[in-house]
Structure formats: structure tokens, C-alpha cells
Structure 1
Amino acid sequence: MREINKLTPAEVKARTQSGNLSDGGGLLLQVTKTGGKSWTYRYQLNKVRRDKGIGPYPTFSLAQARERRDELARLVKRGIDPIEHHRDALVQAAAATAKRVTFATACEAFMAVRSKTLKTEKQVKSWDRTFALAGKVLKGFYVHEVSRQHIVACLEPDWIEKNPTAVENMLRLHALFKWSIVRFELGGANPASIPELEQLLPKVTKNTDENEGDADDGRASLPWLDLPACMTKVRADRTMEAQAMEFIILTGARLEEALQLTWQELDLTAKKWTVHKSRMKAGKTQTVPLAAQAVDLLKALPSYNSGEPNPEGLVFTAQRGGKVYGAALLKLLRRIGYTVEQVTTHGMRKSLRTYLGEVLKVREEVAEAVIAHDTRSRIRKTYERTRFYDERIDLMTKWANYTDERIAKVAKLPKHAA
């Protein structure tokens, strides 16, 4: 066994000659020509000799240098290179330091980017207020330390009394943390993830809904069982108002949406009708799938002009030109035998909605989307961008086939509807 601890503190202090002085076990005292002294640990691993610096003398005394040598020797015995081990430790320390991003720092960096997309100074101040409010809870935390419970604590004070503001703040915090996790390479889940927060925060019941008001407003509607017979009477009338009524029944559209329809909104090849948000009650663009019956109806209209309609021209035009008015459709219903107590134009939408729910058992959010309603919470609307268009294609075809007596008579209804 090699001799170790050969040096004494006096020898180390007195040494002035340049060169290496061995204490044994790989510990060397290196003396420079100018008299400077430092400790080095010399070792061999995988048949390669390497020197690992320990530190200067007298910052590191002889006893301290020996302790450090013994630590490094234990690493070598385990097959770990002390130099690589030290480098890994530095990398880990740097990574830990990089994660120490305060909430305030993240907000400042995020707003430097986000403010460029905001149109007014008022909007910038609104975002700043959101983060200042959250800062009352989060100011003492690094971003990677913030938990979902911390975000809940930020939102709860206003969640019931000022819900629209609280929801807006939640969406902004979601955006901030999503961006910060990527920007600062923090990893982990977003503590402001919206679906999870929605589960933790109390459900807020609104007295009114932006899309309600025509779902159950007392306007008469036919039972869905009577729609095929009604459609047969409508088609037999053959007037322009009858064709407009047929279109309303087939699409579930509101009266004015149908009567103000222009050809530029239609794509008959793709079988869809896109109603701009400016014409929608809820102020959101709606894309309506067109069943084959609806496409055939449109192509048979005079304004279709053999496939070359005027894009800005009305689809449904009165006999002497111009718009077809809603009063004409009401007269149509009376003319074909229905009283005001039995059905209204708007009531056709109710019949469709009832059929979707009672016969086809369609999920509520999908059935509501068919008639351009959206009963989902504001939160769900934010992260669920879909309006279930693909599902609605099949539903509108089934509805059109059902209202067509020629098809309905030979079609087999579901057992619970038959």
C-alpha cells in the first residue's frame, strides 16, 4: 500500500522550490517559480492519468486538501471521473439557476412580446392589471414553484361576483405560464391549465345566456312527428315563400338569416353555407352543412341562373324582384292550414331541436350547435374551438331525409321513436 499523509503543515508552509511535492494517495502540492502553491489530485481511470485541481494554499490547508483528496478517491473507486463529475455538477447548478425565474420577471418578459399584438394602450394596461392582481399571491414565487392551488387563490376572490373579469384573468394567466414554460425551458405542467381550473373553481350559473331567448320563447312549434306532413304541404305550394320555408326547415336557420342570404355565402360543391358573424344573432360566424335536398332546392331557384348567380344577389327573391318578407311566410303557414297557435316560422327550429334530442339522442352541445346556439361555458368555448361541423353534416342529412315523406315512409325509425 502506498504511503499517504507524508507531509507536515510545516513542510508545506516552508516549501519554496518550484515543482511537485507528494503527500501520497495522489495528493500533490504544486509550487510555481514565483512561489505560488496549489493542491492537485492525480488519478488514473480507464488507463488514463488525469489531474484534478483542488484549490490554492493556504485557502485549502493540508488537512482540507486531504479531505478533498479522499472524496475524489472514493469517486474514482466507484468508476466516476472526478473531472466529469464536477462538470456535471456545474451543468446541474446552471440549470437550477436558470429555473429561478420570478413571477415578476416572467410577466415583464411576456408583456414585452404580447404588447406588440395588442391594439391599444388600454388593452396593455388591462393585461398589466391582471398580472398585478395575481402578483398579490404569486410575487414571492419562482414560476416553476407556482401550483394550481396558487392560481385558484388568485381567481377565487372575484370568481362569483365578477366572473367575466375572473375568467378573463384566468385566460391571461394560462397564456403567461404556457409561454414562460417554453421560453425559460422550465418543463412541467401549466399550473393555469384551463380544464383543470374549471374543475376546481365553483360553477357559476348565469341567469341569462347570450344565445338564449329563442329556445323557449313561447312561439308555437309543431311536434317533430308532424314535420314530414308539413314539409309535403310546403313543397306543394311552389311559391318563393314556400321555397324559403323549405330551406328554413332543412337548415334550422332563423328567418332573417335565410331571407337575407346571398349567393356568395354558399358553396354548393362543398355543400355548406357560411353565415358571417355580422348576420348572426350571437355575433359569431356559423357554417351550416347543406343536405342534398337543400342543394337541389337552391339549384332550382330562378336566381341560381343556371349555375351563374350574382354573388351579391339574394337567393330568395320576390316575384317582382327584391326581398321576400317574413309576413309572406306567415301567410304561407296559414294558407296551408296551420293556425298561429299551431306553428310559427321560428317554431321550425324548435321542432328540429326536439328531433335531435328525443329521436337521435344527440349530445346537447352538438344539438345546440345545429341551431347556432352555444350553451357551453365561456371557459369551454375558449379551449374547445370546434363547433362540431363534421357531426352536424350527418345530422342535417338525417333530418332532411326524415322531413321528406317520400324517404320517411320507407325509412325505419329508431325503436324509441317508432
Structure 2
Amino acid sequence: MSQELSKVTKAKSQSEPGRYGLGGGLYLQVSPTGTKSYIFRYKLHGRSRHMGLGSANTLDLKEARKRATKARLLILDGIDPLAEKDAQADAERQKRARTKSFADCAAVVIANKTKNAKNPKHIAQWTSTLETYVYPTLGKRPVGEVTKHDVEAVLRPIWDTKHETASRVRGRMEAVFDYAKAMGYREGDNPAAWKGNLQPLLGDGSRAKRHQPSLPYTRIFEFMADLRKREGTSARALEFAILTAARSSEVLGATWAEIDFDAKVWTIPAARMKANREHDVPLSDAAIALLKALPRIKDVPYLFAATRGGKLSDMALSMTVRRMNGETPKFVDRVSGDPVVPHGFRSTFREFAGNMTTHPREVIEHALAHRLPDAVERAYQRSTLLPKRALLMADWAAYCERPNTVGNNVVPMAQARA
């Protein structure tokens, strides 16, 4: 053994590049850069091959010989040591891949979507819905171990009560599992797939549409009077949303550059519209007055800016309504009894326009930026009807100011029936 150690010591002292034999197919290899490692040379099926065993700085002679002996035993069994080494490395990679959690994969999917996202709010919804409904039970689970019954267990509690949200969560989970399969983190069918998978378990998902809680239009003056007593940007943003019958996201993203004070028009870019089409909103005198009273912050483009200069949060309008309602809600939906929400004021406006005015239906639908349901009607009605919508919004603003205000196009129902 002392002679063998002497061999190794002598070989390790070499600085010239080359291979220095240590017996039994074991060599010490010196690279052109001076690094030294053990290799094992062998022949199998008439081919000469060599396999790296490890660095001489970390591997001693005893361990190097043990590895060389193990390789020779494999050769005796007709197994290529290199192929075996690759197979073990691949198995180890697969083992590590199997430990990838659902949340790990979801983070990559969300990051990929963020790169090309046109709507940051949509990406934020991905994160919030997964954090709320999926991560508590499946977030840390290895993505390769999740079954369709696990997915069903996540969706079942909200399938009937929050069906639209549940459907979106299912689709987002399906995308995460697709990514996991592509990366080799799981095998087999996608557990969140719909047809032939979750559909038999959850049903076809046809549910009665649940409307957002809305305030009866007969109480809008009461609400607006209370709202106008409140200070703060959020209160003004909610007031503007009601006067324009716009969606919260459209109002929160509104910029000064979108307002034409001379024409009394707010032009919302297609990118912020649900229908992905530019939309002109006629502004009533009340809406114009509200905007002119707003403070302008230097270098901040938004009408309703947060304290630090960015946009108000998505919850700003909702929290304003909640504060107005207090612990015992007074502004509630007349059917469900639920506290009203900002989006519900679009329904309030729709009911007012339909019940209290003679404005045509297509004018009202245009005001709400709704797509007309009938294809023939859409083909003939390509105009934005802006002048007629301006009259409608003026009537709405007047009614919000004082319910008994009657404009040229506002006809109380009792009079209309006479």
C-alpha cells in the first residue's frame, strides 16, 4: 500500500498535463490548467471509454479505488458504468423535480404571463385567487402528486356560491398543471382538465347569474347626499363612477389626458375597457364640476391619485361604501338585503333610465358600454349616440342631485301611464 501511496504522491506532484496510472484502470488526470482529478478507463464491447470519478482535491485514493472497483463490477455484469451513472443522475433529477410544489410552478406561470400582460389587474387576480382558494391546501404539495379529487375538493365549496370565480380558479390550475407536465414535474392527465375529468364530478356549471348588490334608484339621492359630505379622493372617485355609470377599474385608471373639458367627454382607451373598444363618456355638468375641484399633483397623470402618487387601490371604492354603511348597513339591495357594492350602481343607473326616462334602450346600453345582444341591431346601430347619451347622463346627474328633478327626457312613471 505504501508503494501505491507513493505512486499517488508522485502523480499528484506532477504539473505537466497528462494521465498518470494508478493501477486497475484508475488514473490521475492533470488538465492543461493544472486541475487534477481521478478517472477510470475501461473497455466495453470493444470500445474504449473513460469515466470521471471526482476531483483529487476532495477525493482520496481509498474512495477513488472504491469507485473504480464498483465500476469494474458493473462491467463484469455487462453494464456500462457511464450509462449507469447517467441513469442515476437522471433519476435524481426526476426525484428533485417531483418535489416541485404547486406554488413553485404557479409562480413561474404567473411570471411568464406578467411579461406580456396587457392588464395588470388580471395578473393580480391570478395571484389573489390562487392564494385564497388553492395555496392553503395544495400550495406546498408536490405538483406531481395532486389528483383530480384534490382539485375537486378545492372547487367544491365555491362551485355553487361563487361559480364564476371557481371556473376561473379551475382554468388557472389547469394552466399550472400544463406547465408542470411540460417541465416533467408530473405525468399523466391534467387533474384540472374539464371535459371527461372534473365535469362529471362538479356538473356542467350552469348557474343562475348572481347580480351585484345594487341600491334602488329611488334612494340614490340619499346615498349621494351622504357621499358628498365625505372628504377624500376615494369618495370623489366613487361619486364620479356613479355620475358616469362607469366601472371601478375604468375610473381608477382615468388620467387627465383622457378628459376633454371643452367637449365634456372622457375618452377611455380600449386597453382599459372590458369590450376592448375605445369608449367615449359624455360628462354632465356635475361630473365636470367634480373634476375641476380635484387637486392636480405634479407629474401624476391620474384623476384620483393615491397619497403617494400612484393609482388608488382596487378596494378604495368598496371601502368607501363599507364605511358609509357602518356596522348596520343602511344602503342595501332591495331583493337580497346584501350591502351595496360600487359595481351595483351601474344597475341602479340602468333601472333609473329604464323606469324613469323615455331614453331608447340602445342609448342606455351604449351608456353602460354594453354590447347590444342582437347582431342585426348592432349592424344598424354603429353610431356612438354621444349627443343622446349626453342628455341621458344630464338627467341622471339631475336625479342624483334631487329625485323630483324632471328633465326633458325624464317622465315619472305615473305620468307615463296616464
Q: TM tier, shorter chain?
A: 0.3 to 0.5
TM-score under structure 1 length normalisation? 0.44
TM-score under structure 2 length normalisation? 0.44
Bigger Rg, which one: 1
